[in-house]
Structure 1
Amino acid sequence: MTTDTPARLLQLLSLLQTPREWPGGELAERLGVSRRTVRRDIDRLRELGYPVQATKGADGGYRLVAGKAMPPLVLDDEEAVAIAVGLRAGAGHAVEGLDEASVRALAKLEQVLPSRLRHRVSTLQAATTPLTSGDGASIAPETLTVMASTVAARERLRFSYRAGDGTETRRLTEPYRLVSTGRRWYLVAYDLDRADWRTFRVDRVSEPCATGARFAPRELPTGSAAEYLRQSVYRRQETYAFTVTFAESAEVVGGRLPAWLGAPEPLGSRGCRLHATTGDPVQWLAVRLAMLGCEFTVEEPQELVECARELGARLTRAAGG
């Protein structure tokens, strides 16, 4: 019998988070208490914001349903390890769609994991090798979680940074946002030593350290971190404009395109057109467009037209056509 009320409430909550309906008698038996105590504990959970639904009947039943707000979750050891391993595997590579919110979730989870579970997570990750595509570099999940924590807490961040020419420097920054381009993670931050905004490739960062010093957020020169990154990257590399039309609506295409490419222009019943600028190799862009799953036509530049034609012919030959 569980006589400690807080411990009993956690055990009850863990049971209710299983997607099924629990008869009151079964809950009482599991917890070693009376049905009346179960009813009181259910009322306590409701007061804490957990939407527990009761059904009428001879035995009555309880289940946890979706509510208006996200209450705290109770995870057992296996569930916590599974979530941490999954988030770490995704965070180690700039997977499109895994944005800063996911990294913040990993940072929060690892902060409260007991040492025994943290060891299990590290052991599982060390024993597995993810299969990735593209040229995105691997990143230690710990690097991302430290950065995400300082972004959320508005805490100054110090780290070592290796430039493209191999030069190593120490940086003291006020981190603003983490941005994923689909192949790499970048940190947008205010560099205190250079008194200016900078972008840093996270795979070139080492020894990140939260200093504990808080700061008041500064105003970014552009409307968003993604836009600032786009402008910053394009200033440092040769870029080209391209135009592509799609036989799908702007809403469909826009939902599949990475945000940094911008939004397509609606063309009514004819689909939509995307006119954008990129520094990606034309081969990568052709593959990325083909992966959208939409019929499309490349209008310019000619190099991209020829690359798309060659890619289509190669795939046709591969299929025996």
Structure 2
Amino acid sequence: MLLHMERNLKPLRHETRLKLLAVNEADGHIYADIEMNRMLQYECRSRRSREDRSDRERLQLSFRGGGWIIAKVTPLQTESSRPAPWPDSGQEDDAAGMEFGAPIQGNKSRARAGNSYSDVFSVDSEELTVVKSTPFLNNRYVNSQLEKQRRQIAYDREKVRQYAETWWNGANPQYEHFEVDCSSFVSQCIFAGEAPMNYTGKRGSGWWYRGKYGYQELWSYSWAVANGLARYLGSKSRVGLSAEAVDSPRDLEIGDVVSYSWEGGPYQHSTIVTAFDGDGMPLVNAHTVNSRHRYWDYRDSYAWTERTKYSFYHIADKM
């Protein structure tokens, strides 16, 4: 509420819908995983906006005083973590500390995701967990991207916005889906705006997504890793996707990118600008904690700290 007052918001309508995802018993407690789909309509400087968000939390119910009470609430996933394991799963319950700028820790060669097992790829001491996919890219498509690199392309910000609105709360099955997929989602949005890939075939360079090749899914770190995407956008590449860092969120347009470092170190989260509030400040769409038209500064996130650092990237209109 304090954040709303600081932004001079006038709430008009608020709605929260709960969905029970799973229940588990351990150590005399009951753990219930829930999904909260929240909607807020508000007015800012006479402009009406709507924010949507899908959060997942774990409730710990304990028997006290002759009845069950909610003893603890834990986010299942934040913008810097993977989903939390069950308390009796044998894994450490430290999801809130697992960052995606240097994300999922450990040396497991396989990781459980939903009802399927998924491969874990090592990324410069980082690990990315792939959930599942039916990617569509192939050699013919890669060749067309190489051709785009040789001619000027106009960045279509309206197509970016449309893609971000369509998939803000879902995973496009044509792409690989990560447990922490904020940067992959942003890359997909940028690509939907006709930004040409910088296809190098090397994970550590360029900005590209190839899809299935044999038994592997191929993509660059800059496509799927928050720190990799921020470094690429700040590199002023002259091939394929190009961008420049700007000083203020007020310098951003639809289709531009905000990168977040919660502790002031490597970047751990990425969002895409899709709208503006009545003060002219950016509203963003994002994944991991699926969000639509969320205020850009993320001070309402479990991941946010006083040391949070932001970078703002304006995507070039012509590439």
User: Shorter chain as normaliser: what TM range?
Assistant: under 0.3
Give the number of the structure whose alpha-carbon radius of gyration is greater. 1
Q: Kindly indicate which of the two structures has a greater share of residues assigned to strand.
A: 2
TM-score of the aligned structures, taking structure 2 as reference length: 0.27
**Relative contact order (C-alpha < 8 Å, sep 6+): which is higher?**
2
TM-score of the aligned structures, taking structure 1 as reference length: 0.27
